[in-house]
């Protein structure tokens, strides 16, 4: 088989299509996340290489497609796996910041806020009322890489805590990790 006028054995071409497509789709996943996090320049750089790779892969798949439809199956399989790999990679990179809200019993609020601040987290505490007793709502903007650490610390104070986590765009002002 040939690709860009270079003779390549079929098995090697299948291998190249498969792994290159996985890389290209993984890049697309990370690029989309960067766009949602307002990291336009980084997303643009990734987008350039993503499209460059895409054009080369599509050219290889479409070349003599009628004689070798296996390339289409390999391309589709690599696309699916690339989505999985990209999601996994993005989760490991943990780009961005999240808003964590923890509703704790009032008796735990002050000491938990102090413990969180000692670990470098910015915490805002608000008095609240639950069905049966007083509560405190703790608001934190936390780097995604530190979500597990934050939840573990909160649960060490109160196991039946209510925690919600929301992705947020960059935050301006405030204390700690926030942009100026």
Task: Specify the DSSP element, H or E, that contains 82.
Answer: helix 70-93
What's the pLDDT score for residue 37? 83
Domain total in the chain: 2
Whether residue 26 sits in one domain with residue 7: yes
Whether residue 23 sits in one domain with residue 9: yes
| Helical packing angle, 70-93 and 40-62, nearest 10° | 160
Total residues found in the chain within this entry? 180
16 is in which domain, residue-wise? Answer: 2-93
Please identify, among 38, 58, 93, the residue that sits at the C-terminal boundary of a domain: 93
CA atoms within 13 Å, Cβ hemisphere of 144: 15
Whether residue 116 sits in one domain with residue 79: no
Q: Tell whether 178 is covered by a domain.
A: no
Cβ contacts of 126-133, under 8 Å, gap ≥ 24: 128/103, 130/103, 133/105, 133/106
pTM of the model: 0.74
Whether residue 16 sits in one domain with residue 53: yes
What's the pLDDT score for residue 53? 96
Q: Tell whether 177 is covered by a domain.
A: no
Whether residue 80 sits in one domain with residue 30: yes
Q: Tell whether 85 is covered by a domain.
A: yes
Q: What is the domain-level CATH number for residue 124?
A: 3.30.70.120
Q: Tell whether 174 is covered by a domain.
A: no
Q: What is the pLDDT along the chain (180 residues), one digit of tens a residue?
A: 656 567 788 899 999 999 999 999 999 999 999 998 888 999 999 999 999 999 999 999 998 899 999 999 999 999 999 999 999 998 888 888 899 999 999 999 999 999 999 999 989 999 999 888 999 999 999 999 999 999 999 999 999 999 999 988 766 766 665 554
């Amino acid at each position: 088989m040939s690709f860009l006028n270079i003779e390549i054995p079929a098995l090697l071409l299948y291998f190249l299509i498969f792994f290159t497509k996985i890389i290209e789709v993984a890049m697309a996943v990370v690029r989309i996340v960067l766009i949602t996090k307002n990291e336009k320049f980084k997303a643009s750089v990734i987008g350039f290489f993503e499209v460059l790779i895409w054009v080369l892969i599509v050219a290889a798949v479409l070349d003599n497609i009628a004689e070798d439809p296996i390339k289409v199956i390999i391309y589709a399989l690599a696309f699916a796996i690339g989505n999985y790999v990209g999601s996994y990679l993005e989760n490991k990179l943990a780009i961005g910041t999240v808003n964590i809200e923890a509703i704790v019993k009032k008796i735990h609020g002050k000491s938990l806020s102090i413990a969180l601040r000692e670990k470098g987290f910015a915490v805002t505490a608000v008095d609240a009322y639950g069905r049966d007793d007083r509560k405190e709502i703790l608001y934190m903007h936390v780097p995604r890489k530190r979500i597990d650490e934050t939840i573990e610390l909160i649960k060490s104070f109160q196991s039946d805590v209510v925690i919600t986590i929301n992705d947020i765009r960059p935050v301006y002002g405030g204390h700690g990790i926030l942009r100026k």
